[in-house]
């Protein structure tokens, strides 16, 4: 009787430890999502002070990755050449002025790309000598991608400033978000344009914030279910 009893106790102990371990993993995942939600809310619900120091784009963001909160609204610099041009209709700038924007796809290096708001669509022909072969130096503000459409997504037009809309149109690895250019130059010669100001993001909590909170509830609910199941099985056992 001693050996079977010892084996039963060991089995029960292993099962209990497994339940606690799984519940702890679910709880930890919930805490991780809660931290992500807090970080995002803090970055987007307080007045953002734009750092006046220009930072290389590649030092604050990476292609094919979500834009980190620490990179939002940073002033960045990057060089490349434009490989595509799009019209972004009905865009509102930081002063709530609505207009159509010219948005270029800037190839960075050999295999990366990012959307750049170059200026007003009506002024797209101000620099007729600029070709796709020319390397352009960009300075501007790095902004999170838009989530709301402003027009139909048809040929030559993007409905919102979001690199996910052009994934099928290019082989480049795309950065999340986009740059609102404050200056463009070629070999030190500045390209003169009217530059839109970025949309203000100071008091808006994005959908991703609530998505993170929903994951917190889901993970913690699963932890509770895992802890409750052994007691439930005892109650229903004949």
The separation between CA 34 and the C-alpha centre of its own chain, rounded to angstroms, equals: 17
For the chain, give the mean pLDDT.
Answer: 84
Q: pLDDT band at residue 55, thresholds of 50, 70 and 90?
A: very high
The separation between CA 47 and the C-alpha centre of its own chain, rounded to angstroms, equals: 19
pLDDT above 70: percentage of residues in the chain: 85
Q: What is the mean pLDDT of residues 188-208?
A: 72
User: Any idea which of 114-118, 148-152, 158-162, 233-237 has the lowest mean pLDDT?
Assistant: 233-237
Among 66, 138, 76, which Cα is nearest to 104's? 138
pLDDT of residue 41: 67
Task: Output phi, psi for 46, to 5 deg.
Answer: -105, 155
As a whole number of angstroms, the distance between CA 74 and CA 122 comes to 27
pLDDT digits (tens, 9 = 90+) for 85-111: 999 999 998 888 999 999 999 999 999
pTM for this prediction: 0.65
As a whole number of angstroms, the distance between CA 179 and CA 22 comes to 43
């Amino acid at each position: 009787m001693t050996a079977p009893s010892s084996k039963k106790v060991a089995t029960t102990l292993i099962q209990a430890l497994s339940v606690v371990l799984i519940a702890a993993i679910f709880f930890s995942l919930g805490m991780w999502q809660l931290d992500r939600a807090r970080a995002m809310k803090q970055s987007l619900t307080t007045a953002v002070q734009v750092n006046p120091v220009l930072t290389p784009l590649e030092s604050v963001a990476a292609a094919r990755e979500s834009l980190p909160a620490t990179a939002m609204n940073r002033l960045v610099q990057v060089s490349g050449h434009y490989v595509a041009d799009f019209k972004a209709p009905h865009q509102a700038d930081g002063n709530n002025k609505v207009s159509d924007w010219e948005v270029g796809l800037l190839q960075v290096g050999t295999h990366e790309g990012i959307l750049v708001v170059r200026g007003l669509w009506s002024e797209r022909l101000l620099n007729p000598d600029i070709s796709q072969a020319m390397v352009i130096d960009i300075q501007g503000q790095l902004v999170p991608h838009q989530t709301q459409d402003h027009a139909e997504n048809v040929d030559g037009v993007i409905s919102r400033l979001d690199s996910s809309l052009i994934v099928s149109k290019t082989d480049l690895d795309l950065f999340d978000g986009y740059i609102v250019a404050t200056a463009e130059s070629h070999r030190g010669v500045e390209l003169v344009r009217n530059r839109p100001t970025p949309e203000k993001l100071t008091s808006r909590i994005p959908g991703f914030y609530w998505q993170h909170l929903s994951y917190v509830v889901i993970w913690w609910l699963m932890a509770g279910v895992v802890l409750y199941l052994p007691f439930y099985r005892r109650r229903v056992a004949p």
